[in-house]
Structure 1
């Protein structure tokens, strides 16, 4: 039925939300938001993406809560249940941009969410040890290379329904890295990771590309580390000079 999420896609969306937040803490994004705010969210996602990343966007990106999509092989995503972490998302967004205008805060949040892939390309962060929860995370040059190689999907490309569908389910319409082809074209994503990192790739008798089992295991672990790597990146990375 047009305009409704198919059952399997609805289950995936609910699974993502269940994995990313406690039901006790969850606040329905759709039913709990004023109509004007919901309308602004939909209008923002229908409008062209802003060409400039402004101070509001940066303030929100700094507060982004990165989760892990359960789709296919899994991949980093902007938490659709709590994109700004635990608490009332709309209130947190208004605090981030220092404004009492709820519709504007929702608009800026949706713009910042769409600009996240661009931010990853525009910003820089030196490899090193960074605070991350209870234990530091060691960000490497490999992590940074992979973050810039990842393929992001918009809400429409995710195929889980429209922005209205997300809001009706109690989630914010946020983007995710493609869990099926996280680094471009291959479902056998360790091969593309190896190519991006300059690691050995061999051609098999049938013409397909592969890596050794040992390297594949290392790359799968490295792929899972891109979630904390992205979390550290949005918190700490600075925009490059001469960035428009």
Structure 2
């Protein structure tokens, strides 16, 4: 291991230690914010935080995308340093409150915000995370955001589970039933996309291996779709 790698590991360990201490200091603020009705609309601070949140793949059941609950701005970015820059002051309680409120607003944002279909560049500092071909990111670092992605974001079922406490209560899509009531999630996906599976005379859904694989591939792409949506989707006047 090179000295550069050792230095990088030490910096990461320091960020993790600082994050644990921050969560400990702001435990009461986080709990109080969760017990309070979320704001009715995004503030400039909420939007700035939302643009900087990073996604992750949650491995519950079938798996689904969600927001990072630890080091939410990325593993190589200090929550305090980035957060203070985003809110414009060095106030830990204000940052904690704004971060939790932003998480509370994410599901409504995905329903009501809008974004044009097209090809979008994945920021250079994120590309390593989306290197797997299943994410839909091409060799040139771009992702084709389609209407199907927007439809599924609007139909996603969100949860806020503290998977690895202490952590920030930021939401993720339900890995067991990501798009509706069916644990066989392709059934819900097909219905939302206007191409439902056929039903047999005895009421059984007639699945199809090829179509199942296509929808599962689309489900994997939702990780990138969510990140691109957070970066570029337009916020209406009220969310």
Q: TM-score range by the shorter chain?
A: 0.7 to 0.9
Indicate if the aligned counterparts of 1:130 and 1:136 stay in contact, CA closer than 8 A. yes
What residue in structure 1 maps to residue 143 of structure 2? 137
Give the secondary-structure state (helix, strand or coil) at the position aligned to 2:210. helix
2:231 is the alignment partner of 1:235: yes
CA distance in 1, matches of 2:202, 2:81: 56
Q: Return closer, same or farther for 1:210/1:79 CA change in 2, 3 Å cut-off.
A: farther
Query: TM-score, normalization: structure 1?
Result: 0.80
What residue in structure 1 maps to residue 185 of structure 2? 189
Q: Return closer, same or farther for 1:154/1:35 CA change in 2, 3 Å cut-off.
A: closer
Indicate if the aligned counterparts of 1:70 and 1:179 stay in contact, CA closer than 8 A. yes
CA distance in 2, matches of 1:24, 1:190: 42
Deviations 1:64-109 (A, max 9, x none): 1011100011101101122112322132212111111111011100
CA distance in 2, matches of 1:192, 1:139: 20
2:99 is the alignment partner of 1:109: yes
Structure 1 unmatched runs, 5+: 1-21
2:219 is the alignment partner of 1:223: yes
Q: Return closer, same or farther for 1:210/1:115 CA change in 2, 3 Å cut-off.
A: farther
What residue in structure 2 maps to residue 48 of structure 1? 37
Give the secondary-structure state (helix, strand or coil) at the position aligned to 1:130. strand
Question: How many correspondences in the alignment?
Answer: 212
Deviation at 1:210, TM superposition (A): 3.7
2:172 is the alignment partner of 1:176: yes
Match of 2:157 among 134, 148, 151: 151
Give the secondary-structure state (helix, strand or coil) at the position aligned to 2:65. strand
